[in-house]
């Protein structure tokens, strides 16, 4: 394994960062993919991790080393692997062409990269809004008592034989 790039950081900081960014999925559900983008600011000496699809959440932690422009991996798998480390361990992240290696105390874990050698990876898109503008609340009814609930031309409160009281059933 030839490493051109690699950064060294504390496992506790990495665990804290992933706990903030990667959401918890219920175990009953199928594990969902949550891609994250790892980028490094060499001037500040910080590793920046953000959600890859929309860039909604991000976190910075101190790190030392060199790093390519960006590396994208599945955040749920990365979090699951990093949760097995002790907080006082020192972890080295090494990006290769098709995978990200996590080195710790002689052990090596590899994760598949989402932005492999020739692919651009996941591009950020703005998140679509559900509605535009403020929510309009209608005024209180003035003319009728139940104007807001007037949806049908008939009354929905029709007596049904199954809903009668027991007293009514005995009389019939």
Residue 169 pLDDT exceeds 90: no
Asked whether the predicted pLDDT for residue 148 surpasses 60, the reply is no
Taking the C-alpha atoms of residue 95 and residue 80, their distance in angstroms, rounded to an integer, is 18
- Tell me what pLDDT residue 129 has: 73
Average pLDDT over residues 13-33: 77
Share of the chain above pLDDT 70, in %: 73
* Mean pLDDT for all residues in the chain: 80
Give the integer Cα–Cα distance in Å for 141 and 146: 7
Residue 161, phi then psi, degrees to nearest 5: -55, -30
**Is pLDDT larger for residue 152 or for residue 74?**
74
pLDDT of residue 88: 92
pLDDT of residue 92: 92
| β partners of residue 26 | none
- pLDDT beyond 90 at 110: yes
Give the range with max mean pLDDT: 48-52, 115-119, 164-168: 48-52
Contact criterion met (CB below 8 Å) for 104 and 89: yes
Please write the tens of the pLDDT for every residue from 44-93. 889 999 988 888 888 898 888 888 888 999 998 999 899 999 999 999 99
Structure confidence at residue 149 (pLDDT): 54
Q: In the chain, where are the structural domains located?
A: 6-24+31-112
Which of the following CATH numbers is that of domain 6-24+31-112: 3.20.20.70, 3.10.150.10, 3.50.50.60, 3.10.290.10? 3.10.150.10
Whole-number pLDDT of residue 124 = 83
* Token pair listed for 7: 């950064």
Provide the whole-model pTM: 0.67
């Amino acid at each position: 394994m030839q490493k051109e790039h690699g950064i060294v950081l504390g496992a506790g900081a990495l665990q804290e960062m992933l706990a903030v960014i990667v959401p918890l999925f219920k175990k009953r559900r199928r594990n969902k993919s949550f891609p994250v983008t790892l980028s490094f600011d060499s001037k500040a000496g910080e590793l920046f991790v953000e959600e890859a699809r929309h860039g909604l959440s991000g976190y910075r932690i101190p790190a030392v080393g060199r790093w390519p422009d960006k590396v994208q991996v599945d955040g749920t798998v990365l979090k699951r692997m990093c949760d097995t480390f002790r907080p006082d361990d020192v972890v080295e992240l090494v990006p290769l062409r098709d995978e990200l290696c996590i080195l710790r105390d002689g052990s090596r874990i590899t994760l598949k990269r989402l932005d492999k050698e020739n692919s651009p990876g996941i591009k950020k898109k703005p998140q679509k809004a559900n509605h535009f503008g403020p929510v309009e609340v209608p005024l209180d009814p003035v003319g009728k008592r139940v104007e807001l609930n007037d949806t049908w031309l008939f009354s929905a409160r029709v007596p049904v034989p199954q809903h009668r009281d027991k007293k009514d059933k005995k009389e019939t």
